[in-house]
Amino acid sequence: MIYYIETNLIAIIISVLMLIQARRTESKNETSYIILSLMMWMSVFLSACDIMAYCYRGKNYLGVEISNMMYFVSMLIGCYLWFLYICIKMHFAKQLRKTILLTSPPAIITLVAILTNPVTEYIFSVDSDVAYRRADGIVLTWVVEWGYIFAALVLNIVQIAKSQSKFRKKKYAGYLLFLIPMIIAGACQMMFYGVTIIQIGVVIAVLLIYSNKQYYQIQRDELTELDNKNSFLHFKDKITSESKNYNATILFIDVDNFKQINDKYGHLIGDMSLKDIGVAIKTACSSVSRGFTPFRYAGDEFVIVGLETDNENLELLKSKIDANLKEKNEINKKNGEKYTLSVSIGCAEGLLFDDVSFEKLFIEADKDMYRVKKDKKSS
């Protein structure tokens, strides 16, 4: 049937395109990137093996044997890589080598069973018509592969339940998307003998995960868990294209003495400082009014946009941010930290109705922030 080749070629093309895109945009030294790339390569290999198995069927005994054996190998490795990927993303694999040592035995046993299949015919056999036939041992591959997938599911759900951050809960929940196409395709493949659909399920699953990952990289700042500059610009375009007048407030926030903190205590402490300030800003916005939306604009700069908010809420928001940072400084002091976190906040209020009015408010808020910072230094 020609659809065998067409289906697998589509899967290969999509996987290769994802690999090219990932190579351009991802950090190549990250373990999670390496594992995700290997999963994509396994998807390519899986489809290639299925094409070869189809082409050799009824023609070449050795070709059918090897192509089906490699098909099972790629499926097994792909499922185990997914398990490792979730372990890393859910922060359950701080020592990757130890994790592999503890979790790989079922995969190794199954791999040995697959590689010795030409002798044992435990997983499958090739009949006199040079056609593939399932054997009883195929259940072992199903149990181990689905075992890794559902183990990853459990770790995913545990981390979602444990996380206190709504942002992280939503981000972790995105990995559950992997299961939907995998379960549908896997169930069809097991129930309907001769149907080739698992490759498409794998490709769609990896594509969903990669798209989810790209979304959070584009729209969210992972360090502070705030919307990033791209999201800010999208927000700006959205509200300025609504043909609606808003009583708006823009707050431009800059971290005081951030360069000195970075230089003196190191970039790790600098990152922790930005994270703590992001939490202080986000907590203040959520406790004051729904009308305030915070963003990490760039580096140590943050922006808050308030729509239809009054001066009372503005002053309350500023005091909440200062109070949150003061509370954090007291905790840091008890823990022996010697740096102090503070911010300079510039404000601008006015009518917002188009790009020009938005830019005007933004520039005024930026100038006011520098005025506040200058006053602090002179006092």
pLDDT in tens, 323-362: 999 999 999 888 888 888 999 999 999 888 888 889 999 9
- Whether residue 170 has pLDDT greater than 80: no
Residue 96 and residue 231 in one domain:
no
Whether 241 and 149 map to the same domain: the answer is no
**What is the predicted pLDDT for the residue at 126?**
92
Q: Provide the number of structural domains found in the chain.
A: 2
* Residue 156 CA: distances (Å) to CA of 182, 229, 328, 334: 16, 29, 30, 34
Tell me the residue range of the domain where 262 lies: 226-378
Phi-psi region of 224 (alpha: psi -120 to 50; beta: other; left: phi over 0): alpha
Claim to verify: residue 276 and residue 252 sit in the same structural domain: yes
Residues 241 and 174 in one domain: no
What per-residue confidence (pLDDT) applies to 212?
A: 75
**C-alpha distance from residue 70 to each of 3, 52, 104, 166 (Å):** 21, 10, 19, 42
Given 195, 221, 247, the domain boundary residue is: 221
Give yes or no: residues 123 and 258 share one domain.
no
Could you tell me if 116 and 260 lie in one domain? no
- 243 and 366 in a single domain? The answer is yes
**Domain end position, chosen among 199, 221, 243:** 221
What's the CATH number where 51 sits?
Answer: 1.20.1070.10
Sequence-distant (≥ 6) Cβ neighbours of residue 275 within 8 angstroms: 223, 224, 225
pLDDT at 167 over 70: no
Reported confidence tier of residue 94, pLDDT bands at 50, 70, 90: low
Q: Are residues 122 and 157 in the same domain?
A: yes
Residue 177 has pLDDT above 70, yes or no: yes
Angle between helices 31-56 and 61-89 (to 10 degrees): 160
Stretch 295-308: mean pLDDT: 91
Residue 250 confidence (pLDDT) above 90: yes
Q: What confidence tier does 128 reach under pLDDT thresholds 50, 70, 90?
A: confident
> Which pLDDT score is estimated for 108?
97
Q: Are residues 274 and 364 in the same domain?
A: yes
Does the pLDDT value for residue 193 go beyond 70? no
Which of 221, 254, 272 is the last residue before a domain boundary?
A: 221
pTM over 0.85: no
Interatomic CA distance for residues 103 and 151, integer angstroms: 10
DSSP H/E element including 367: helix 355-378
